[in-house]
Amino acid sequence: MSDNSLIIGLESRLLNAWPSFEYQAYEGWILRLANGYSKRANSATPFLPDAPLDEELIDYMIARFVEANVRPTFRLNGLEAADADERLRLRGFKEIEPTHVLVASIRREDCERDPEIELQPRAKKNWVREATASYGGDKADDETLMQIVSRIRQTAAFATLSLDEKPVAWGLGVVERGYVGLYDIVVAPDLRGIGLGRRVVSSLMAWGCQEGAHSAYLQVREENEVARSLYGALGFATAYRYTHRVMPGRSV
């Protein structure tokens, strides 16, 4: 599989696993909108190699973002035309949050689930409420997150790890065409760094294996060295990298 084929394949799965509320297609770009919750659901992303981005198209997509009251954001994954990043830079778009898409093969010995982790096929209100509370910040919007995860049409598992009957770690797995995508891995703030996130990730990979997945993928910010080290120990390696160009003068 070529690099572009891998990017397109994973980006397509990501789009399905983390649905937006609205999609618009423009000459190899897909603009997604979801009330501003998460950049991957509220950005313009190239989906074809060498997707062009001229000044007219930039202006047109900016207008669509502004109409939706969402900060204009371009998510650049390497499929865009060679001059796209420079065009945005010259327009004053700031580069933020470089992110790695990691992939790992799932081995036969990885297919045994942790019996202490509960998996549900659909999101429940308490899962969404508890996960967003542990995230905090701009992700503490349980209503919008519920709308996003309720739109998932692929086979999914919502994981919860409890200690002494108290939920302390959460995660989401979505299986599509041989891959399990791992999303929203979060641990209660006062219990981070003791291996709970690793248990959730491993259990979702095992569940994915049982659902026919041969590989797992996830996304992690470049600056998060602790998480990247954890995922590296689980066999994950960078498949590709993306970054964001955001319009100045509007809040993130």
- Collapsing DSSP to helix, strand or coil, 237 comes out as strand
120 shares a domain with 89: no
Q: What is the pLDDT of residue 141?
A: 79
87 shares a domain with 132: no
94 shares a domain with 35: yes
118 shares a domain with 68: no
- Token match 């065009």: residue? 87
Residues 6+ apart with CB under 8 A from 250: 71, 72
Contact 164, 198 (CB under 8 A): no
**C-alpha to C-alpha distance for 30 and 74, rounded to whole angstroms:** 10
143 shares a domain with 60: no
The token duo for 71 is 């900060």
Q: What is the pLDDT of residue 207?
A: 98
- β-strand 237-246 against 94-105: which pairing, if any? antiparallel
252 within domain boundaries? no
State the total domains in the chain. Answer: 2
41 within domain boundaries? yes
Q: Which residues are paired to 217 by β-bridges?
A: 103, 181
CATH number for the domain spanning 18: value is 3.40.630.30
86 shares a domain with 59: yes
Stated pTM of the model: 0.93
219 within domain boundaries? no
Using a 10 angstrom Cβ sphere, with 0-12 exposed, 13-18 middle and 19 or more buried, the burial of residue 55 is exposed
Domain span at residue 59 reads 3-99+241-246
29 within domain boundaries? yes
End-to-end CA distance of the chain: 35
80 shares a domain with 118: no
**C-alpha to C-alpha distance for 12 and 88, rounded to whole angstroms:** 24
126 within domain boundaries? yes
191 shares a domain with 122: yes
79 shares a domain with 138: no
Dihedral angle over CA of 79, 67, 35, 77, nearest 10 = 10
179 within domain boundaries? yes
198 shares a domain with 147: yes
132 shares a domain with 75: no
**C-alpha to C-alpha distance for 188 and 35, rounded to whole angstroms:** 25
220 within domain boundaries? no
The token duo for 168 is 């302390």
Q: What is the pLDDT along the chain (252 residues), one digit of tens a residue?
A: 458 999 999 999 999 999 999 999 999 999 999 999 889 899 999 999 999 999 999 999 999 999 999 999 999 999 999 999 999 999 999 999 999 999 999 998 889 999 999 999 999 999 999 988 887 656 667 889 999 999 999 999 999 999 999 999 999 999 999 999 999 999 999 998 899 999 999 999 999 999 999 999 999 999 998 889 889 999 999 999 999 999 987 554
194 within domain boundaries? yes
The token duo for 183 is 């999303």
Vertex 43, ends 120 and 145: CA angle to 5°?
25
Q: What is the pLDDT of residue 252?
A: 45
84 shares a domain with 180: no
